[in-house]
Structure 1
């Protein structure tokens, strides 16, 4: 088995980056999230109301699901 990119957190729920690949995936996720929201706000005219919140969420939710899937596939068992 390859070295896991993420490891279970010692306290609490979730995972944490354990290697440079894990940190890279996390940084890429943050970069895509911030840049995507900035581009949406700049170039997509969202009307006043709930679409100002839900429009960017339609971008963030699939991105978050993809990040969670990658993190899950590359998470070790925490032993060692």
Structure 2
């Protein structure tokens, strides 16, 4: 984690089962997740003004942003089934 200089501090750990990332491990990861949740909530509030298709496009773009942050700041993804 952050205390070890030689080890990279991943914001998002790999899931134990399956492929992808789990809950954030660091405060930076939690900030990214909170900003994502706030952006989704803002989109929901303004969904009527945006229209369905624009809301779907907006949600897809911010979801790709979250996925990109997980890819850049998370453990390398691979299929896992239990302990390492």
TM-score by length of 2: 0.69
Secondary structure at 2:13 match in 1: strand
Unaligned runs of 5+ in 1: 47-52
What value does the CA root-mean-square deviation take over the aligned residues?
Answer: 2.3
Q: Note the alpha carbon deviations across 1:14-60, whole angstroms, 9 max, x for none.
A: 2021111111111110111111221232xx264xxxxxx32310110
- 1:76 corresponds to which residue? 75
1:40 maps to: 47
Structure (1 or 2) with the greater helix fraction: 1
**2:64 aligned residue:** 65
Superposed structure 1 runs of 4+ greater than 2 Å apart: none
Matched residue pairs, number?
Answer: 71
Q: Secondary structure at the match of 1:4?
A: coil
Q: Which of 8, 17, 31 pairs up with 1:11? A: 17
Q: 2: CA distance between counterparts of 1:11 and 1:38?
A: 34
TM-score of the two chains, using structure 1 as the length reference:
0.72
Question: Could you tell me which of 10, 29, 43 is aligned with 1:22?
Answer: 29
User: 2-side partners of 1:77 and 1:59: how far apart?
Assistant: 27
